[in-house]
Structure 1
């Protein structure tokens, strides 16, 4: 389980198939379904495929992906945070989803800020973006903390869903 980066309270590492039980729970939380969407993951086998086809494939294809976020003090799995290369976006997207019991404690901001710094300093990515449901004010605040600014709206590929688009030029 390669650790990608650590912060004062968190470890971000590559997701693995052993993380399927946590992913099954995370992608079916009401907040995930409302703000990110239904990934049609209903059992452990589907959760493993979700990891294989998503984060794990992304590490191999792009050298980055969504990372499992763990709390250093007790190794608790808090959720995901990382970079996603989406077909309909020109730049990598800073994405995150934490279990609801860990929201409001600064973990998401801490992880997102660390991912943005990693993208700039280690991966050499000069431009990042973020997408967020228009009514997800908490997520917008996190993107703004990373230095992103609102830059209009985008339509999600394969749907008629509009999302707010944020951009961070780090040059």
Structure 2
């Protein structure tokens, strides 16, 4: 296990091919496809390729990317990370939880940890996007200190309208 950050309840770690089965479940949940989009990951091989292409290669290329959120007992509960998107000026904070792990503060805890270490990853400014109707994600982003800046259409996700947030630069 290659842990990047540890919190009181969580390990925020680099993805491994062994995570493929749990990621396959996560990306095919109804809330994931509704709020993030259909990633076209339908088989275990697709999930393994997703880990290589989206997790491992992002860290190699940008010095940052998505991480696995796991409990200290190794239970995978979700993902959190910084994404470099062509349509956004700054890296984007993104996250998702597996069903059954919502409303326990895991996303806030993991995202807050990443934000507190973002400068070590070479990130000063951070954006985050959430669908207008994704109240839970917007609440987490606001609690983290993000402010609404406007709206943007992300064609690649086929999601009509997203809200764009910009992290307050004075946040420590």
Please give the TM-score of this superposition, normalised by the length of structure 1: 0.94
Within-5 A mapping of 1:70-149: 70-72=70-72, 74-120=73-119, 122-149=120-147
Query: How far is the alpha carbon of 1:123 from its aligned partner?
Result: 2.0
TM-align CA RMSD: 1.2
Q: Distance in 2 between matches of 1:48 and 1:75?
A: 19
* Cα contact 2:37–2:159 (8 A) shared by 1: no
Once the two structures are TM-superposed, the CA of residue 2 in structure 1 deviates from its matched residue by 2.1
1:22 deviates by: 0.7
Q: Contact 2:17/2:48 (CA < 8 Å) preserved in 1?
A: yes
Poorly superposed stretches of 4+, deviation over 3 Å: 157-160
Contact 2:149 2:164 in 1 (8 A): yes
Query: Where do 5+ consecutive residues of structure 1 fail to align?
Result: none
SS at match of 2:103: coil
Matches within 5 A, 1:1-171: 1-72=1-72, 74-120=73-119, 122-158=120-156, 159=158, 161-171=160-170
Q: Please give the per-residue CA displacement for 1:31-71, whole angstroms capped at 9, x wherever unaligned.
A: 10111000111100011111111111101001111100011
- Between stretches 77-86 and 149-158, larger displacement belongs to 149-158
SS in 2 for 1:42: coil
* Separation in structure 2 between the aligned mates of residue 70 and residue 82 of structure 1, nearest angstrom: 13
* CA offsets 1:84-138 (integer angstroms, 9 cap, x no match): 1111111111110011200011111111111111113x22422101000110011
Q: TM-score, normalised by structure 2?
A: 0.94
SS in 2 for 1:100: coil
Find the residue that maps to 1:80 and give its secondary structure: strand
* Number of residue-to-residue matches in the alignment: 169
